[in-house]
Amino acid sequence: MAGSTFGTIFKITTWGESHGKALGVVVDGCPAGLPLCEEDIQRYLDRRKPGTSSITTPRKEDDLVEILSGVFEGRTTGTPISLVVRNTSQISRDYSEIASYYRPGHADYTFDAKYGFRDYRGGGRSSGRETIGRVAAGAIACKLLEQLGVSVHAYTRSIGPIQADLTHFDAEAILSTRTAMPDRAADEKAVAYLEQARENSDSVGGCMECLVTGVPAGIGDPVFEKLDANLAKAIMSIGAVKAVEIGDGTSVSARYGSQNNDPFRVNDGIVTKSTNHAGGILGGISDGDTVLIRAHVKPTPSIYQPQQTINKTGEEIDIQIKGRHDPIIVPRAVVVMECMTALTVLDAILLNMSARLDNIVSFYRK
Amino acid sequence: MAGSTFGTIFKITTWGESHGKALGVVVDGCPAGLPLCEEDIQRYLDRRKPGTSSITTPRKEDDLVEILSGVFEGRTTGTPISLVVRNTSQISRDYSEIASYYRPGHADYTFDAKYGFRDYRGGGRSSGRETIGRVAAGAIACKLLEQLGVSVHAYTRSIGPIQADLTHFDAEAILSTRTAMPDRAADEKAVAYLEQARENSDSVGGCMECLVTGVPAGIGDPVFEKLDANLAKAIMSIGAVKAVEIGDGTSVSARYGSQNNDPFRVNDGIVTKSTNHAGGILGGISDGDTVLIRAHVKPTPSIYQPQQTINKTGEEIDIQIKGRHDPIIVPRAVVVMECMTALTVLDAILLNMSARLDNIVSFYRK
Amino acid sequence: MAGSTFGTIFKITTWGESHGKALGVVVDGCPAGLPLCEEDIQRYLDRRKPGTSSITTPRKEDDLVEILSGVFEGRTTGTPISLVVRNTSQISRDYSEIASYYRPGHADYTFDAKYGFRDYRGGGRSSGRETIGRVAAGAIACKLLEQLGVSVHAYTRSIGPIQADLTHFDAEAILSTRTAMPDRAADEKAVAYLEQARENSDSVGGCMECLVTGVPAGIGDPVFEKLDANLAKAIMSIGAVKAVEIGDGTSVSARYGSQNNDPFRVNDGIVTKSTNHAGGILGGISDGDTVLIRAHVKPTPSIYQPQQTINKTGEEIDIQIKGRHDPIIVPRAVVVMECMTALTVLDAILLNMSARLDNIVSFYRK
Amino acid sequence: MAGSTFGTIFKITTWGESHGKALGVVVDGCPAGLPLCEEDIQRYLDRRKPGTSSITTPRKEDDLVEILSGVFEGRTTGTPISLVVRNTSQISRDYSEIASYYRPGHADYTFDAKYGFRDYRGGGRSSGRETIGRVAAGAIACKLLEQLGVSVHAYTRSIGPIQADLTHFDAEAILSTRTAMPDRAADEKAVAYLEQARENSDSVGGCMECLVTGVPAGIGDPVFEKLDANLAKAIMSIGAVKAVEIGDGTSVSARYGSQNNDPFRVNDGIVTKSTNHAGGILGGISDGDTVLIRAHVKPTPSIYQPQQTINKTGEEIDIQIKGRHDPIIVPRAVVVMECMTALTVLDAILLNMSARLDNIVSFYRK
């Protein structure tokens, strides 16, 4: 069934395969009047590009975005914004081997089980390139959120056992290190760790985190459209994510209530909390504090060590994967997390406008 | 906006407040022909009832369900099934104190921020009683899944620091212990731990887990309607859940790919995996293995210790909560997790029927 | 699949069969703060009740509504409003005959074809009593629209060949005549016509019309969520409606453009049109003028003349329907049309709040 | 809000403006395994192209479709199919005049009222070129329906006062006449009528009809997702349609029940009806008979006669529209009606697969 649409008011529909002609997204429901150009989107796409360093794949992917509709005289018109990225560097090569078996940790087998066959070139629709549409759409959401005073920032929190030190948060390092960690010392250690894994023909997992500041209190809808529930869906839908936490997340299960409750305080007439274990969400609704989401990402399933698997005819075989693959997914996924978070928060913000009769009356009777 | 509906084909809409006249759910899209009676649903509702033990609230809640529509001559008709549970034991008491301030860890403040006011009696819509609708609907989903050979079972995995030993999994203990742990020794320790917390006027967090067996390979839809993404939303939407894991969850982030990949094998012509780190889902689609979800639940926010907070007029005050509250949420939430999981898996199974043209042709041209 | 939910933000889910225990609706997404009591809803339900006159069925149906949730201290809370009407007067009788064959013009055969069996008592879910949920929900929508200066009024335009004269529109007659015509002379003729039909053991079709005034310009969304498209769905979903027209409707197909275009004018600084052939909608978006919808309703399919049909075993038989049936559907359907129109317009009004960035910014940065 | 998505399982999202870079559609939820190439889609697009005759606009629009995703080795993969048509012949001209005022009968004013400004070039999103996405998607739906034995055919029924004679239905004439009438004699008269209108600088309305054969009994879902309700929405969403009829449509309102009921019969073991006043739908569910929908289309609002209107600053002015415009919309809209009908019927057919438990069990336990 149709699974490529996300959002209710700000609604995106992504499409495209790794080695097809192009990938893209249709953003429908974007409010009219937002200044928008291709550069606004390209900045975000560039963050998910494979780089030139040893820890990202040496593939060259220009991934230039083109706006095909929905923008007129530099502003969004309220009608669907179609964004397309042509696949230019996908080299024609021999896929007969990969077509014949199921790579462990990949979606090869499950796509075949579901659809009867699959586009096996580069992973087809289950490739990380699928996120181009998410990022292109998320760039627009981020730009719109800025107008409302809402900022969304994701970063790498850990790579394998190497944790970023968040007490000396270096925001500038996120965009300039190879790991997207907000900590240059940890970045260096992580790079060394990744080099070692690469030498062992292995890959590595990691953890990423996203902070949203400026979210007004009152965003999210009980009981199924809670802000945290929709964030969990958004982030878990990113390939390779296996766990999602809100605020203090898993650690709450070993706590006492007296440790976990956040006392409400008032600061200059503004409601605050003296701690934020809750991650900015209470009862599924934002409380005005920073929203914090954490995601755990499995190691890249494509490794160069010999592996056991089966082929399409059901025989058990040994394989050795070739090609170019990042030893870690996280640094390039950070912008995807940022974008999925932005899309979720924005949609909830737009939906909240009709929560109270007095607001509706003053909107229409102004 | 409308947030009380869940599912696409098997669609439920819950309603009701803790101390209103009644709570319930409309189950729309339930296939015709399922034998169904009130006892099928009551069995599940009874599992979320507060018991008589010291670790659950002493409130008496009969929570008797009535089927108002959608069942004729003992079978579902394909039309909406309306289920209602009258509130009978909600004692009329003085709520003026609770109405005047915001309890830490509760949704009092966020509901006021969103809607301008709230039904403060017993937490209103944000009460744990809201889950009556989820469980009543989930009972039907579970019964239908049984017909397809799919079983869903949840249990308590840990309470505070006390872990159940899953190597000697005692399925029978889940329904008979006070903690819903599949391990009687751990149950005893956990009960002692909870008694201690109660004496300290404190509450405790915990972790619960759900296993789904018999899910055919191929269930779930890329890229946003992935099975794990929808499970994450379903489980995170349960009040007090702060983290959701699939398969090995958070632990994947510290692993190498060579440790995390599950080799495919063939067993009697059936595709299997020699390990199941993935938790039965690859690329968002079921792989035929057991689906495993884990959820971390915060301690009950209602504790009897003095706490700091603010009142509605924005003054910082000290409060001491009264009333009857469980010192832990998990044992009664286990059945809610089971039901939300069943609802999610069933809906994905129904949606999958139209994934392949050959199946559609043979369905209609039989 | 789930077909009993209507609307996106203001979302209703109806349930119930003609002779089940009860019928009702859950209204989810109703903005918080609307004063609401049972009498507000009962007024609308009473308009669809069978009366005491010769042209409506002599069945006694009290149809008393009860609010079970979502209203606190006399105002809506923003959470789901559950409304229920108990079936009290459905007499237990012998349905074995009606269970055995398919009544012409009814949904007996199609329900069996779809679901394999059906609740045959009084038509089950396909009975006109299904509209109780629509009307109960629509009453709330109407009350909310009033706060925005929007009024919705439906009436009978024709019964068989008898047309109401709209040039002397008698609004008061709509609620007081037996036919719901805004013309007492036509009402008298129509009643005589209906008596004649009843004597011939026959039934009669008719036409109803709905006017919506005060709709701001800009409501409705291109290209599939056009206001007229959603109105067409809403009205065509009412049982027995076979045609829907907007503005001048069918007559436009025989016109020249020079006759059909409505010139824009300005009146006291307000944009108007000198004619309203368009029925207040251009390009699927309201233009500020009166929205006009017309619906054509087939004659009641239950007639007392002998008819040909088949039974469940596929034999051709002759039948003669018994029981109590209105000879016309229209007068009792007028309030249903009014309610479905109100639900559609209100949902579009709420969705429109996020159409423009400047409005969103001023909403959140106020 | 997002209004460019249609369908639940077979879900399409269209995008594009008349004079933007391109127009297109994403088809999500198309079952895997359907043979598909660009020629399959181009055939349908060519039917909506302006021709070379005097009654269609002399604009040259090649409208060549490109498939960008979702098809692999000649078959659909189950993932989103992105279709794009580049705008190549949209001449850069001076739009300052059209930008300054509101054309009667067009959506200029309502778009401005909603969004604050509009893409005024060629009507922007409200142009008839918007239907390119509908037709491209509908071509796929039609191809899939063929595999199920379902055929969809639309044609022009009348142009102004000229009615096609359907008693000698000439199916071949639909694709070869300039009017898409199934009657060559009527076509000739209609062309003469159109020439006359063109000489008078006027335009003309018309009526189109669509027949769907082979629909199994049981398609459509009570009470809001009725097949006729969704068809009404689908067809009313086509620009310029002002009325939709099912079966005998408006004429039922002047009938007796004894005239309108269709007796059920059995023919070679197949359930039939001796008449089809109902248009193949009873209670919103298909009865196995031919589904018939009729739509009334207003005259092209762009006429060359002087007209009154207002400009953006609110002044009343006289205008005279220039440019190239068809004097009638219907002949080019026939394929759009066919496609919207196919999309609606196909989606309902896919949704129906989960209506009965026994079918689900045999699907998964085969």
pLDDT one-digit tens code per residue, B78-132: 999 999 999 986 666 778 888 999 999 999 999 999 999 999 999 999 999 999 9
> Residue C60's pLDDT is what?
57
Helices (H) and strands (E) in chain D, counts: 10, 18
Inter-chain residue contact B124 with C79, CB threshold 8 Å: yes
Take residue D137 and report the two structure tokens written for it.
């998607």
Euclidean distance between CA atoms C110 and D289, whole angstroms: 11
Top pLDDT among D51 and B178 is at: B178
Q: Quickly state the pLDDT bin for B253 (edges 50, 70, 90).
A: very high
* DSSP SS3 for B120: coil
pLDDT at res. B323? 83
- Here the tokens at position D230 are 């969704």
Tell me the residue ranges of DSSP E strands in C41-191.
65-67, 71-72, 75-76, 81-86, 151-159, 162-163
* Lowest-pLDDT range of A25-34, A70-79, C82-91, D355-364: C82-91
DSSP state of C41: H
- Take residue C345 and report the two structure tokens written for it: 């317009």
The closest alpha carbon to C239, from C148, C336, C353, belongs to: C336
Read off the tokens for D115.
Answer: 């969004």
Find chains touching chain D: ≥3 CB pairs under 8 Å. A, B, C
Distances (CA, A) of B179 to A2, B47, D292: 40, 12, 61
Q: In chain C, what percentage of residues exceed pLDDT 90?
A: 90
Which two tokens mark D216?
Answer: 């199994």
Amino acid residing at D30: C
- Name subunits touching B (3+ CB pairs < 8 A): A, C, D
How far apart, in whole angstroms, are the C-alpha atoms of residue D198 and residue D192?
10
Give the start-end residues of each E strand in B230-315.
Answer: 241-246, 264-267, 270-273, 281-282, 285-286, 291-297, 307-310
Q: Which residues contact C187 (CB under 8 A, 6 or more apart)?
A: C164, C173, C177, C178, C179, C181
What local confidence, expressed as pLDDT, does residue B142 receive? 98
Please tell me the distance in Å from A363's CA to the nearest CA on chain C.
Answer: 8
Q: Is the pLDDT of residue C303 over 80?
A: yes
Q: Are D345 and D292 in contact (CB under 8 A)?
A: no
Q: Please answer yes or no on whether D32 and A115 come within 8 Å at the CB atom.
A: yes
Phi, psi torsion values for C268, nearest 5 degrees: 55, 40
pLDDT at residue A260 tops 70: yes
- Which residues, 6 or more positions from B311, have their beta carbon under 8 angstroms from its beta carbon? B100, B101, B102, B317
Share in percent of chain C as helix, strand, coil (round to 5): 35, 25, 40
Q: Per-residue pLDDT for B37 more than 80?
A: yes
Give contacts of D118 with chain A, Cβ < 8 Å.
72, 77
Would the pLDDT of D51 be above 60?
Answer: no
- Look up residue D202 and give its two tokens: 């006027």
What average pLDDT does the segment D62-74 reach?
A: 96
Instruction: Specify whether the CB–CB gap between B217 and A113 falls below 8 A.
Output: yes
Q: Residue A152: what are its φ and ψ, rounded to 5°?
A: -125, 125
Share of chain C above pLDDT 70, in %: 96
**For D112, how many CA atoms within 13 A lie in the half-sphere containing its CB?**
18
Cβ contacts of D70 on chain A, cutoff 8 Å: 15, 17, 20
* Nearest to B223, CA basis, from D33, D7, A131: A131
Contact B271 A114 (CB under 8 A): no
Would you state the structure tokens that stand for residue A148, as one six-digit string? Answer: 């409302």
Give the model's pLDDT for residue C92: 64
Amino acid at B90: Q
Give the pLDDT confidence score for residue D58 in this predicted structure: 55
Chain-wide mean pLDDT for chain C? Answer: 95
Report how far residue A341's alpha carbon sits from residue A141's, in angstroms, rounded to the nearest whole number. 9
Six token digits for residue B228: 């794990």
Q: Sign of the CA dihedral C28, C30, C34, C40?
A: negative
Q: Please name the amino acid found at residue C261.
A: N
Residue B16's beta-bridge partner residues?
A: B23
pLDDT band at D365 (very low <50, low <70, confident <90, very high): confident
For residue C286, the model assigns a pLDDT of 98
Rounded Cα gap, residues C303 and C229, in angstroms: 33
Structure confidence by residue, pLDDT tens digits, A279-301? 999 999 999 999 999 999 999 99
Q: What pLDDT shows up at residue C96?
A: 83
Q: What is the residue type of B162?
A: I
DSSP C215: P
Tell which residue, B6, B16, B299, has the closest CA to residue B132. Answer: B16
Q: Encoding tokens for residue A288? A: 């005005």
Handedness of CA D46, D48, D52, D53 (dihedral sign): positive
- What's the pLDDT band for C2 if we cut at 50, 70, 90? very high
- Sequence-ordered list of residues with C-beta below 8 angstroms from that of A220, at least 6 positions apart, any chain: A226, A227, A228, A230, A281, A284, A285, A286, A348, A352, B110, B114
* Residue among C105, C246, C314 minimizing CB distance to D260: C105
| B162 vs B193: CA distance, rounded Å | 8
State the Cα–Cα distance between residues B158 and D199, nearest whole angstrom. Answer: 84
Chain D residue numbers with beta carbons less than 8 Å from the beta carbon of C248 are 242
Which of D31, D216, D358 comes nearest B355 by C-beta?
A: D31
Average pLDDT for C16-24? 97
Measure in Å the smallest separation between the Cα of A280 and chain C Cα atoms: 18
Residue B121 token pair: 């009696």
Q: Which tokens in the block code for residue D233?
A: 């929405």
Structure tokens at B353: 């029927």
Based on the number of CB atoms within 10 Å of its own CB, is D268 exposed (0-12), middle (13-18) or buried (19 or more)? exposed
Residue contact C298–D107, C-beta within 8 A: no
| Nearest chain B alpha carbon to D144 | B357
Residue C323 belongs to what H/E stretch? none
User: What tens digit of pLDDT does each residue of B291-328 get?
Assistant: 999 999 999 999 999 999 999 999 999 999 988 889 99
Residue of B nearest to D148 (CA): B361
How many percent of chain D have pLDDT more than 70?
96
A280 CA: distance to closest CA in chain D (Å):
27
Angle at C131 between CA C125 and CA C137, to 5 degrees: 125
pLDDT, chain A, mean: 95
Quick one: three-class SS letters along B174-197? HHHCCCCCCCHHHHHHHHHHHHHH
Task: Report yes or no: B286 and B227 within 8 Å, Cβ to Cβ.
Answer: yes
The confidence score (pLDDT) of residue D141 equals 98
If you average pLDDT over residues D180-207, what whole number do you get?
97
Residue A53, classed as helix, strand or coil, is coil
* Strand-pair partners of D279: none
Question: Residue C358 CB: number of other CB atoms within 10 A?
Answer: 12
**In the block, residue with structure tokens 């005050």:** B317
B164 confidence band (pLDDT: 50, 70, 90): very high
pTM: predicted TM-score of the whole model, two decimal places: 0.98
| B192 phi, psi to nearest 5 deg | -65, -40
Contact between C308 and D274 using a beta-carbon 8 Å cutoff: yes
Report yes or no: B334 and B49 within 8 Å, Cβ to Cβ. no
| pLDDT reported for residue A286 | 98
Q: C71-72 and D281-282: which strand pairing?
A: unpaired
Nearest-angstrom CA–CA distance, C253 and A53: 67
Confidence of residue B61 (pLDDT cuts 50, 70, 90): low
Identity of residue B31 = P
H/E element holding C64?
none
Give the tens place of pLDDT for each residue, C236-254.
999 999 999 999 999 999 9
pLDDT of residue B366 exceeding 90: no
Q: Is the pLDDT of residue B54 over 70?
A: no
Contact A308 B243 (CB under 8 A): no
Model pLDDT, residue B62 = 84
Q: What is the per-residue pLDDT for A10?
A: 98
Helix (H) or strand (E) holding B32: none
Q: Is the backbone of residue B278 left (phi > 0), alpha (psi -120 to 50) or beta? A: alpha
pLDDT at A53: 60
All residues of chain D having their beta carbon less than 8 Å from the beta carbon of residue C17 are none
Kindly provide the ipTM of the predicted complex, given to two decimals. Answer: 0.97
Mean pLDDT, all residues of chain B: 95
pLDDT of D54 higher than 70 = no
* Cβ-based contacts under 8 A for chains A and D: 167
Residue C111 DSSP one-character state: H
Dist. CA B289–CA B273, nearest whole Å:
8
Task: Give the C-alpha separation, C111 to D285, whole Å.
Answer: 7
